[in-house]
Amino acid sequence: MASVGEIALGAFLQVVFDKLASPEMLYFFRRESIRTQVMNWEKTLREIRAVLDDAEEKQITSKLVNLWLEELQDLAYDLDDLLDEFSTEALCEMIEKSQSTTNKIRAYFRTFMRLNLGWEDWCPYVGETEVRAFPCLIELSIKRCPELVSLFKGEEERQEQQQMKGLSFMMRLESLKLQDCKKLEKLPRWLHTFPFLGELKISFCPSLVSFPEKALKYIISPRGGLPSTLKHLTISMCGMLESLVAEEGMKINCPSLESFEINCCWNLKFLPDALYNDDNNLKNLRRFKIQGLHSLESIPEGWFSLPTNLREICIFSNKKLDALPHSLQNNINFRSLAVLQVGSLRTNTLKKISFDRFFSLETLSILNPILEEEEVELSVFPIEWMSLPTSLIQLTLDGFPYLETLCSRQFQKLTSLQKLSIRRCPRLASVPKEGLPPSLQELYIDYCAEFTSILEQGLPQSLLYLYIGNCPKFGSFPEEGLPQSLLRLVISSCPNLGSFPEQGLPLSLLVLYVLKCPILKRLCEKGKGKYWDLIRHIPEVTIDNRSIFDT
């Protein structure tokens, strides 16, 4: 069977071939007199594809071949970006000459549906001429345009008519993406009227302060302030952005909205509320994520006040957020919620969340809880009065500075738990004596400075993957040995570890990876180390990033 990498790379190469054969690229290559070089380039790519097909047919699994595939995939991505730049340059020249081009070329432009622009020396505005050239445009992506200030010339009232005329040619837009436009200050003031806009992504636009104020008249209407057709809204790394609507308390009506994601917008002070109506405004919302909003103090109740089909909620690294909406804490309306990630919340807030009432919850991550000054140190998890749902499959605890032990009684109730990750818990010394859930398949212990050992009965016989990393005091495995089910063992940056279990390693083990463990490295030397006979049967053994079978 072909690997995922081979399948993806083969499909990606076909995309590259299609781009090489596109009319605008052929025109560009002829003009630059590089057609011969490109033909040689294409021949080489086809030879590479033949090798890929052969690898698939013979089911080649060599590590060197896989490494070559990874490097080739990176090269293919770079090639695709380069072809996009060539294509953009060709289009730029054709647009500049549009007044003297033939009707045939003009007609060709009018069929374009997707446009990807990335001009480093672009002018500060997109003019009406550029937009009118693509009346069928449904996807517009603008990236790495450091001089771009606005998508249209003139935002003044006296120029509204001209702007609306230009916007009429963007009314078919279904996707608008703006990336790395450092001087972009304004969005089209009639953005909210785009009747087909389903995707809006804005990232790395540090000068963007707010969404268009002109939308205020539209916001207070029954239809809301963002395009009612919007399905995916993602805004990231816009440090000056203060609001998504004109005034705090403004409400939106987005019945099509499926994902809402705001990341690292440090000045964002408030979120829009959701308009209440009989049709359940946010009935299609599946994903809600806010991260790194350091000025945000609250989340409007409207986002969670009605029964939803939410599958994922992520709320973390929001420094001023003191509380969650009551509807989220009481979890009345979350029958479908599968993923919950909360971070940088005060322990008093965590205690108010009825986790056990999220009946469908499969993944729970709790990061960097903030301890109140008057509270007793948080040394045990789950904390008092916290009960976890038995539906949990994955649990992550990250950044608990006072955590010393896990409550084995509570953990034994997690009969569906398959993956447990514990990171940055400097006081945690070991896993529970009574052991972990019998269903557990993966265990990760990372950056736990006091973690010294795994006690007897600590590891279940169902375990497939064990990772222990950055635990300088970790020195021993359980005396009775590791589970015979174990397939993969990774030990990283544990300089005090100098032995394997006396019984040896499980015969089931397929992968052993050791990094920055000097004592263990010496004992595993090929042909002469103490543990050479214990590990020679393992198909893949890597020590300090080198296979011991290659030495």
pLDDT in tens, 201-221: 999 999 998 776 544 343 333
Q: Is residue 500 part of a domain?
A: yes
CA quadruple 302, 307, 310, 311: dihedral sign = positive
* pLDDT band for position 515 (cuts 50, 70, 90): very high
Peptide bond into 518 cis (omega under 30): no
Q: Is residue 223 part of a domain?
A: no
Degrees to nearest 5, angle at CA 111 with 96 and 38:
65
Longest dimension (CA), the chain: 85
Torsion, Cα of 137, 140, 142, 147 (10° steps):
50
| Both structure tokens of 550 | 């290659």
**Closest to 248 measured CA to CA, from 269, 234, 231, 264:** 269
Q: Is residue 512 part of a domain?
A: yes
Q: Is residue 248 part of a domain?
A: no
Pairing of strands 540-543, 546-547: antiparallel
Q: Are 203 and 176 in contact (CB under 8 A)?
A: no
Worst-scoring range by mean pLDDT, 187-191, 420-424, 502-506? 187-191
Predicted local distance difference test score (pLDDT) of residue 270 = 87
Q: Is the pLDDT of residue 234 over 90?
A: yes
Give the H/E segment covering residue 118. Answer: none
* pLDDT band for position 238 (cuts 50, 70, 90): very high
| Helix-, strand-, coil-residue percentages of the chain, each rounded to 5 | 30, 20, 55
Region 225-246: mean pLDDT is: 85
What does pLDDT average to over the chain? 77
**Closest to 315 measured CA to CA, from 276, 365, 254:** 365
Q: Is the pLDDT of residue 341 over 90?
A: yes
Q: Is the pLDDT of residue 6 over 60?
A: no
Among 100, 125, 145, give the residue marking a domain's end: 100
What radius of gyration, in Å, describes the C-alpha atoms of the chain?
A: 29
- What is the Cα–Cα distance from 325 to 68, expressed in whole angstroms? 50
- What is the Cα–Cα distance from 1 to 199, expressed in whole angstroms? 36
Predicted local distance difference test score (pLDDT) of residue 58 = 46
Region 125-145: mean pLDDT is: 70
Helices marked H in 282-417: 326-329, 347-352, 408-412
SS3 state of residue 126: coil
Predicted local distance difference test score (pLDDT) of residue 215 = 44
Q: Are 448 and 422 in contact (CB under 8 A)?
A: yes
Region 187-196: mean pLDDT is: 77
* Percent of the chain whose pLDDT exceeds 90: 31
Predicted local distance difference test score (pLDDT) of residue 451 = 94
HEC string of 449-503?
CCCCECCCCCCCCCCCEEEEECCCCCCECCCCCCCCCCCEEEEECCCCCCCCCCC
- What is the Cα–Cα distance from 17 to 48, expressed in whole angstroms? 12
Q: Is residue 376 part of a domain?
A: yes
Enclosing domain of residue 21: 4-100
* pLDDT band for position 26 (cuts 50, 70, 90): low
Q: Is the pLDDT of residue 102 over 50?
A: no
Q: Are 197 and 176 in contact (CB under 8 A)?
A: yes
- What is the Cα–Cα distance from 453 to 293, expressed in whole angstroms? 39
Among 45, 65, 100, give the residue marking a domain's end: 100
CA distances 161 to 90, 166, 344, 431, Å, are 31, 9, 48, 68
Predicted local distance difference test score (pLDDT) of residue 305 = 76
| Both structure tokens of 192 | 């909210």
Q: What is the pLDDT of residues 34-82, one digit of tens each?
A: 556 656 666 666 666 666 655 544 444 555 555 666 566 556 655 655 5
**Closest to 292 measured CA to CA, from 325, 319, 273, 329:** 319
CB count within 10 Å of CB 443 equals 21
Residue type, 505: L
Q: Are 291 and 263 in contact (CB under 8 A)?
A: yes
Q: Is residue 356 part of a domain?
A: no
| Both structure tokens of 393 | 């499959």
Among 59, 74, 100, give the residue marking a domain's end: 100
Predicted local distance difference test score (pLDDT) of residue 276 = 66
Predicted local distance difference test score (pLDDT) of residue 326 = 81
* pLDDT band for position 492 (cuts 50, 70, 90): very high
Predicted local distance difference test score (pLDDT) of residue 259 = 94
Predicted local distance difference test score (pLDDT) of residue 17 = 58
Number of domains forming the structure of the chain: 2
Instruction: Give the count of alpha carbons within 13 A of 437, CB side only.
Output: 22
Predicted local distance difference test score (pLDDT) of residue 216 = 39
Q: Is the pLDDT of residue 167 over 70?
A: no
- What is the Cα–Cα distance from 282 to 304, expressed in whole angstroms? 9
* pLDDT band for position 88 (cuts 50, 70, 90): low
Predicted local distance difference test score (pLDDT) of residue 393 = 96
Q: What is the pLDDT of residues 395-434, one digit of tens each?
A: 999 999 888 888 878 888 899 999 999 999 999 988 877 7
Q: Of the ranges 73-87, 266-280, 485-499, which is most confident?
A: 485-499
- What is the Cα–Cα distance from 126 to 163, expressed in whole angstroms? 11
SS3 state of residue 515: strand
Q: Is residue 433 part of a domain?
A: yes
Adjacent-strand bridge partners of 263: 236, 291
Q: Is the pLDDT of residue 319 over 60?
A: yes
Q: Is the pLDDT of residue 7 over 50?
A: no
Residue type, 485: S
Predicted local distance difference test score (pLDDT) of residue 220 = 36
Q: Of the ranges 45-59, 182-196, 505-519, which is most confident?
A: 505-519
CA distances 464 to 277, 284, 444, 475, Å, are 49, 37, 11, 21
Q: Is 344 left (phi over 0), alpha (psi -120 to 50) or beta?
A: left
Higher pLDDT, residue 436 or 463? 463
Listed in sequence order, the residues at least 6 apart from 205 whose beta carbon sits closer than 8 Å to its beta carbon are: 178, 179, 180, 181, 182, 184, 237, 238
Region 336-349: mean pLDDT is: 88
Q: Is the pLDDT of residue 9 over 80?
A: no
Predicted local distance difference test score (pLDDT) of residue 1 = 41
Predicted local distance difference test score (pLDDT) of residue 355 = 87
Q: Is residue 183 part of a domain?
A: no
Higher pLDDT, residue 348 or 490? 490
Predicted local distance difference test score (pLDDT) of residue 373 = 60
Predicted local distance difference test score (pLDDT) of residue 549 = 83
Predicted local distance difference test score (pLDDT) of residue 509 = 96
Helices marked H in 332-405: 347-352
Which letter does DSSP use for residue 383 in this model?
Answer: P
Q: Are 207 and 173 in contact (CB under 8 A)?
A: no
Helix and strand counts by DSSP (H, E) for the chain? 13, 22
Worst-scoring range by mean pLDDT, 216-220, 273-277, 456-460? 216-220
The CATH number assigned to the domain holding 460 equals 3.80.10.10
SS3 state of residue 197: coil
